[in-house]
């Protein structure tokens, strides 16, 4: 099977009802990054940080994957699909995708604020002050905050380098190192960018589709499945 690698962002989940970050009325217009998504914020006001992620976790448990998520899961019938997502939601997995790498962490997981290896799944939405890991330390969201390292990037680069087809879906490509993955995709391979604001991307063999994920992906997937 051909290796098909997908880099997805917040736009992938927009049609499921999850807000993106930088679009009009997006999350970063409503919240101050420094106050809710940074190590300093956690030091200064952990309750505010917990509230921010608890609200998002509660919402995630109320929404469903969209047609874009299901189309990518469908691709696994004919392609060796690897999804590298910037999203912390679990909608790719809930749609049936089996190879999903989360570069920026996972909302339904928490970990010790001291020992990063002590990670736990959440089966409810609320994480409270006083909830501790087995090391006795406070649990924090298992999320990569601004200013923190992105440990998975080292694993993601060779996967992109090895791709036969590369797809980018619903990301503004403003956040690094994730956006830098584009430069590792082989010069000759076919590439697709699906985003209503895709515009033009001057990269070899890149097809830009100014479409929503839930509309553009089912169309592109149908085309790709008919090619095998």
Nearest-angstrom CA–CA distance, 145 and 75: 31
Distance in Å, CB of 136 to ligand APR, minimum: 29
Among 16, 20, 90, 112, binds ligand APR (CB under 6 A): 20
Quick check: 21 binds ligand APR (CB under 6 A)?
A: yes
Q: Which of 69, 92, 102, 104 is catalytic?
A: 104
Quick check: 196 binds ligand APR (CB under 6 A)?
A: yes
Nearest-angstrom CA–CA distance, 228 and 224: 7
Distance in Å, CB of 182 to ligand APR, minimum: 12
Quick check: 10 binds ligand APR (CB under 6 A)?
A: yes
Quick check: 210 binds ligand APR (CB under 6 A)?
A: no
Quick check: 213 binds ligand APR (CB under 6 A)?
A: yes
Distance in Å, CB of 111 to ligand APR, minimum: 17
Which residues sit opposite 112 in a β-bridge?
139
C-alpha 216 chain-centroid distance: 18
Sign of CA dihedral 209, 212, 213, 216: negative
Quick check: 39 binds ligand APR (CB under 6 A)?
A: no
Quick check: 170 binds ligand APR (CB under 6 A)?
A: yes
Sign of CA dihedral 47, 48, 53, 54: positive
Give the E-state strand segments of 33-118 in sequence order: 79-85, 100-102, 105-112
Quick check: 175 binds ligand APR (CB under 6 A)?
A: yes
138-172: string of b/e by CB count within 10 Å (b at 16+)? bbbbbbbbeeeebebbeebbebbeebebbbbbbbb
Task: Check if 104 is active-site.
Answer: yes
Interface residues toward ligand APR, by CB under 6 A: 9-11, 14-15, 20-23, 26, 86, 104, 170-172, 174-175, 195-197, 212-213
């Amino acid at each position: 099977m051909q290796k098909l690698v997908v880099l997805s962002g917040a736009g992938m989940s927009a049609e499921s009802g999850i807000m993106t970050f930088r679009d009009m009325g997006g999350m970063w217009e409503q919240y101050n990054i420094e106050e809710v998504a940074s190590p300093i914020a956690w030091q200064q006001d952990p309750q505010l940080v917990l509230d921010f992620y608890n609200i998002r976790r509660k919402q995630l448990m109320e929404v469903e994957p969209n047609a874009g998520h299901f189309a990518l899961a469908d691709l696994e019938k004919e392609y060796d699909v690897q999804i590298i997502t910037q999203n912390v939601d679990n909608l790719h997995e809930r749609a049936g995708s089996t190879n999903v790498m989360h570069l920026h962490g996972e909302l339904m997981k928490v970990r010790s604020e001291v020992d990063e290896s002590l990670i736990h799944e959440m089966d409810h939405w609320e994480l409270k002050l006083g909830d501790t890991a087995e090391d006795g330390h406070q649990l924090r969201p298992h999320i990569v905050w601004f200013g923190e390292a992105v440990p998975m990037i080292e694993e993601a680069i060779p996967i992109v380098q090895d791709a036969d087809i590369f797809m980018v879906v619903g990301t503004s490509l403003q956040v690094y190192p994730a956006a830098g993955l584009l430069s590792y995709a082989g010069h000759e391979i076919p590439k697709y960018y699906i985003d209503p604001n895709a515009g033009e991307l001057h990269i070899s063999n890149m097809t830009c589709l100014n479409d929503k994920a839930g509309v553009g992906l089912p169309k592109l997937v149908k085309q790709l499945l008919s090619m095998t």
